[in-house]
Amino acid sequence: MAMYRQARVGDEIKRILARAIQNELKDPRVPAFTSVTGVDVTRDFSYATCYISVLGTAEEQKKALEGLESSKGFLRSLVAKELRVHQTPELRFQLDTTYEEGQKIDRLIDQVMGKEKED
C-alpha cells in the first residue's frame, strides 16, 4: 500500500513539475526541450528525486540542471500549493541518461550484427 502511495505522489509531482517547467519557469538556462521523465519519492516523503531529460549538448544539459537547482525553492513551493501532503518533499534533480544509454546499446547491437553478417 505504501509503495502505491509513493508512486501516486511521484506521478503527481512529475505532472506538476512538467507543467511548471514548460509554463512558469523563466530561467534562460532551462531550454524549452526539458522534460521530467520520472520522480522517485522516498518512503518518508522527505525527498523526491526528479529525473530530467534535456534535448541538447552536454553543456546545455549541465546548464539546465544548474537552472533547475537554482529554481528549486520556487518549484517546491508550486508543488506544495498543488500537492496536499503533510510534508512537501525536498526536490533533487538528476539527469536522465537512459535515452543516451539506449542509443549506445543500439549502436553496439548494430556493430555486432554487422560483424555476424560478414562472417
Who wins on pLDDT, 101 or 69?
69
- pTM for the whole structure: 0.81
Residues 6 or more apart whose Cβ sits within 8 Å of residue 5: none
* pLDDT tens digits, 75-100: 999 999 998 888 899 999 999 888 87
DSSP symbol at 89: P
Distance of CA 4 to the CA centre of its chain: 20
Q: Which pLDDT value is given to residue 1?
A: 56
Q: Determine the Cα–Cα distance for residues 41 and 46; give it in Å rounded to an integer.
A: 8
Q: Determine the Cα–Cα distance for residues 42 and 72; give it in Å rounded to an integer.
A: 18
Q: Determine the Cα–Cα distance for residues 53 and 55; give it in Å rounded to an integer.
A: 7
Distance of CA 16 to the CA centre of its chain: 12
Q: Which pLDDT value is given to residue 52?
A: 94
- CATH for the stretch 2-118: 3.30.300.20
Helix (H) or strand (E) holding 107: helix 98-118
pLDDT over 60 at 51, yes or no: yes
